[in-house]
Chains A and B, each alone.
Chain A
Amino acid sequence: MKSTIKKFFFTKMLIGLGAIALLSGCVNDQSSKKYKNAVDIPVNQEMIAELTSPPFVPTPVGKRMAKKLIVDLEIQEREGEMVSGVKYIYWTFGGTVPGSFIRTRVGDEIEFHLKNHPDNKLPHNIDLHAVNGPGGGAESSFVAPGHEKVFSFKVLNPGLYVYHCATAPVGMHIANGMYGLILVEPEGGLAPVDKEYYIMQGDFYTEGKYGERGLQAFDMQKAIDENADYVVFNGHVGAMTGDNAITAKVGETVRLFVGNGGPNLVSSFHVIGEIFDRVHVEGGDLINDNVQTTMIPAGGAAIVEFLVDVPGTFILVDHSIFRAFNKGALAMLKVEGEENEKVFTGEIHDGIYLPEGSVIQSMPSLDRNAPKEEVKALSFEEKMKFGKDKYMATCVACHQANGQGIEGAFPPLANADYLNADVNRAIDIVLHGKSGEITVNGKKYNSVMTAQALSDQDVANVLTYVYNSWGNNKTDVTPEMVEAVRNK
């Protein structure tokens, strides 16, 4: 209940006071006063709250005094796209999943206007975890379609809080997207950073499996069984990948306000290739430094901050990793700027490791004098079988079981124009890897495929399998073709 205002802010306040007094005619003694109890912080003036759609956040509160803040939020039940070709009826706070971001400071008095659009079928309400009061406001905000409810509360505890709908059946309202974040900054605001973004994870339960086309209804049984078809950031697959990726420049500090709407799953939030310099654990006062993966409970949040040292695309995932690769829990942070080899050099050597005292030697394929491995002449059926096994062991994690890939992250191989256009290029990519932007079936991809340490025979098998599956052009790739590319 109590919020103590830190000495640090107090001193800063005093220094800034002279300047403020010059700029503003309405300064009174309250700005320099310390309030032991946040309940006593007086408010002056009224302000309409700036609300933003994800991944953006409103302007920081900075040094502004506590105000009466008017929040105007409309509930809309509307159709959206879960993943390309899959429609879903979302229930939303402000038209987006997650709902609009609300930014306040300790001591603000919030006058909350919750509007339920007349076209909506259902009553709704809002439970804000930042509220001290029965139901977090749920009771006072229960609003019928075509009506508006007004209630007010004072924010007392700094931190990042989830809000959600709490109308029966609660699970279904949350599962359809009714959640968002409300930030309560301490007096004087959070320390300034270069970039701030809003990300919220949620799990979805549909009648059809992942990717099954058409309008998909909510599946109550799957939700009760906690068997999610989609686990996504910001409401749908690809909400933050490709052109929608969030961005930063080398040397900037990025702050992510990360929430988890649930309804069921706990998130192991991780950014591939970054270490969080600071984490406001569970969105509260506790700071943890140097964190690899932070746990975000359903109905909870965390603030993570990190300096980006090198350029590249950093993938944000739920490190319960099948959710990332198979259910959509992937987002991207694209960082532009100068390479910094002190921090990261990229690949400098590729050798073979043989235990039992052998010295490191280079790849046999690069060694002109190494004996050629024996190439067996395989039947087409055998090549397909071995190729499939190799595909399932090596390629499936990214390109998926039926070659469909993951839009925005991993390009498809099924019926893929890029693949069918040039077999030698395909062989080259398997042998030497590929990075940079390519366009496959009209969609842009910009990620990294590593070089694969496979024999010529293996490459021939796996590519023959790929070319003779999923509507591709039935090229029969031979070890000789692979060798030719390798020797180029």
Chain B
Amino acid sequence: MKYYSTALFLVFSIFCELYAQNNKMVLVEGGVYLPLYGAEGKTVKVAPFLMDALPVTNADYLKFVQENPKWKKSNVKSLFADKSYLAKWTDDTTFTGLKDAPVNNVSWFAAKNYCECQGKRLPTIDEWEYAAMADENVPDARKIKTYNQYILNWYETPKTFNKPVGSTFKNYWGIYDLHGLVWEWTQDFNAVLISGESRKDVDKDANLFCGSAAIGASDLMNYAAFMRFAFRGSMKARYSSQNLGFRCAKDIEN
């Protein structure tokens, strides 16, 4: 079913109005990192890529639906977005909250198409996690206690989606708001739970429940990452959520 709908979507997605959007992108230099899940204790190479410095805002998204009416609240196909799609918009072209607050309640299909319409794509989990390891000063702050506590604190703080983009810290790469406003969609968000990797399905409990979540994880102290993986695992591509937005990424052109 998932593959079917994805295929159907690919046909559907070709028809979109391209427009230039002015969200600045910044370069994230490549490197290697050890992900929490999915690499059997091996490090993963991340190629250099460009990432939006800011999450997509309500105003950005309004422009998108005006140019691509199929993504308007009243037009959207239920295959691609569930009932909470743009739930807080009072009609097709009126959002609530700040115009520069991150857009939320958008499905993966919608976020993916938004990026494609700008010649971009969603970042992969590895790219997102790699960029989000950075604090203000260093590219990998995961062992710094205050950094982890900062992330855990915002996961516990209600209604952060109401704040304007750019209101949290600028990280080592020049990216804002990876932690502090909303969760963000990634290209392969469900790759960890829905594993096509048969060895894993046979040998291990691949679920993120109870003690099982500790099996196969590379860093038991990274509670923040556990929560992100759990969140991603709970989502389906047509779901949308109040605390979930997105930003786009792009390959480096040679």
Contact A121 B243, beta carbon cutoff 8 Å: yes
In the complex, A132 Cα to B31 Cα: how many Å? 46
Measured in the bound complex, the distance between the Cα atoms of B208 and A59 in whole Å is 36
A196-219 interface (Cβ within 8 A of B): 207, 217-218
Report if A346 contacts B (CB, 8 A).
Answer: no
**Cβ–Cβ < 8 Å partners of B19 in chain A:** none
A95 to chain B, nearest CB (A): 14
Cβ-defined contact, A169 with B213, below 8 A: yes
A144 and B241 contact, Cβ closer than 8 Å, known pairs A167-B208, A170-B210: yes
- Given A142-B233, A143-B234, A167-B208, does the pair A119, B156 have CB atoms closer than 8 Å? no
Tell me which residues across on chain B come within 8 A of A133, comparing CB atoms. Answer: none
Question: Does B45 count as interface, using CB distance less than 8 angstroms?
Answer: no
Residue pair B226, A89 in contact (C-beta under 8 Å): no
- Chain A contacts for B246, CB-based, 8 A: none
Q: A118-B84, A144-B239 are in contact. Are A89 and B157 (CB under 8 A)?
A: yes
- Name which of B67-75, B117-125, B130-138, B146-154 contacts chain A: B146-154
Partner of A166, one of B209, B226, B233, B236: B209
Q: Please, how many angstroms separate the alpha-carbon atoms of A217 and B153 in the complex?
A: 6
The residues of B that contact A168 with a CB separation of less than 8 Å are 208-209, 213, 226-227, 229-230
Interface-central residue, A118, A138, A143, by most chain B CB under 10 Å: A118
A131 to chain B, nearest CB (A): 13
Whether A170 contacts B243 by the Cβ 8 Å rule is no
Given A118-B87, A144-B235, A220-B152, check contact A135 B230 (CB 8 Å): no
Pick the interface stretch among A48-56, A122-130, A237-245, A329-337.
Answer: A122-130
B77 at the interface (CB under 8 A from A): no
Q: Which residues of B contact A458 (CB under 8 A)?
A: none
Nearest Cβ on chain A to B4's Cβ, whole angstroms? 22
Least CB distance from A74 to B in Å reads: 15
Q: Is residue B15 within 8 Å, beta carbon to beta carbon, of the partner chain?
A: no
Residues in B whose Cβ lies below 8 Å from that of A145: 241-244
Taking CB as reference atom, which chain A residue is nearest B243?
A121
Q: A421–B84 Cα gap in the complex (Å)?
A: 61
Asked if B159 is at the interface of the complex by the 8 Å CB criterion, the answer is: yes
B148 touches A220 (CB 8 A): yes
Is the C-beta of A172 less than 8 angstroms from some C-beta in chain B?
Answer: yes
Interface string of A169-207 (1 = CB under 8 A from B): 110100010000000000000000000000000000001
Which residues in window 91-145 of A have CB below 8 A to B? 118-123, 125, 127, 135, 138-139, 142-145
Task: Tell me if B239 and A147 are in contact (CB < 8 A).
Answer: yes
Known: A143-B234, A220-B152. A119 touches B158 (CB 8 A): yes
* Interface check A221, CB cutoff 8 A: yes
Q: Which of A135, A143, A176 contacts B210 (CB 8 A)?
A: A135
Q: Are A166 and B210 in contact (CB under 8 A)?
A: yes
A170–B210 Cα gap in the complex (Å)?
6
Contact of B89 with A by CB under 8 A: no
Q: Are B227 and A118 in contact (CB under 8 A)?
A: no
Q: How far is the CB of A31 from chain B (nearest CB, A)?
A: 39
- In the complex, the chain A residue whose C-beta lies closest to that of B232 is A123
Q: Using a CB-CB cutoff of 8 Å, which residues 203-254 of chain B contact chain A?
A: 207-211, 213, 221, 223, 226-227, 229-231, 233-236, 239-244
Verify if A79 is at the interface (C-beta below 8 Å from B). Answer: yes
A146 within 8 A of B: yes
Residues of B within 8 A of A78 (CB): 158
| Most chain A Cβ neighbours within 10 Å, of B87, B157, B234 | B234
Which partner residue on chain A sits nearest B183 by CB separation?
A121
B145, CB-defined interface residue at 8 Å = yes
Query: Contacts A135-B207, A144-B241; is A169 near B158 (CB within 8 Å)?
Result: no
B155 sits at the interface (CB 8 A): yes
Task: List chain B residues, Cβ under 8 A from A79.
Answer: 158
A118-B242, A144-B234, A217-B152 known; A89 vs B158 contact (CB < 8 Å): yes
Contact assessment for A119 and B226 in the assembled complex, using a CB-CB cutoff below 8 Å = no
Q: Mark interface residues in B97-109 (1 if CB within 8 Å of A CB, else 0).
A: 0000000000000
Q: Is the CB of B209 within 8 A of A127?
A: yes
Docked CA distance A77–B157 (Å): 9
Residue of B nearest to A119 (CB): B242
CB-CB under 8 A from A146, the residues of chain B are 84, 87, 239-242
How far apart sit A434 and B202, CA to CA, in the bound complex (Å)?
68
> 1/0 per position for B171-213, CB-CB distance to A under 8 A?
0000000000001000000000000000000000001111101
For the complex, give the distance between the alpha carbons of A77 and B243 in Å.
13
Q: In this complex, what residue of B is CB-closest to A172?
A: B223
User: B63: shortest Cβ distance to chain A, in Å?
Assistant: 25
In the complex, chain B residues whose CB is within 8 Å of the CB of A118: 84, 87, 241-242
- Mask of B33-66 contacts with A, CB within 8 angstroms, 1/0: 0000000000000000000000000000000000
Contacts of A138 in B (CB 8 A): 209-210
A135 cross-chain contacts in B, Cβ below 8 A:
207, 209-210
Contact A125:B209 (CB < 8 A) given known A89-B156, A89-B157, A144-B241? yes
CB distance from B204 to the nearest CB of A (A): 14
- Report the nearest B residue to A88, measured CB to CB: B156
Q: Please, which residue of chain B has its CB at the minimum distance from the CB of A123? A: B234
Residues of B within 8 A of A218 (CB): 152, 156
Query: Provided the pairs A138-B210, A145-B241 are in contact, do residues A220 and B231 lie with their beta carbons within 8 angstroms?
Result: no
The answer to whether B231 touches A217, judged by C-beta atoms less than 8 angstroms apart, is no
Q: Which of A139, A142, A145, A166 has the most CB of B within 10 A?
A: A145
Bound complex: CA A166 to CA B221 (Å)? 17
Q: How far is the CA of A89 from the CA of B243 in the complex (A)?
A: 17
Which 4 interchain pairs have the tightest Cβ spacing?
A123-B234, A168-B213, A144-B234, A169-B226
User: Given A144-B239, A145-B243, A172-B227, list of 10 further CB < 8 A pairs?
Assistant: A79-B158, A89-B158, A121-B158, A122-B155, A122-B231, A146-B84, A146-B240, A167-B230, A168-B227, A170-B211
Please name 5 pairs of A and B residues whose Cβ atoms are closer than 8 Å in the assembled complex, sorted by A. A127-B210, A144-B234, A169-B213, A170-B209, A172-B227
Chain B positions near chain A (C-beta within 8 angstroms): 84, 87, 145, 148-149, 152-153, 155-159, 183, 207-211, 213, 221, 223, 226-227, 229-231, 233-236, 239-244
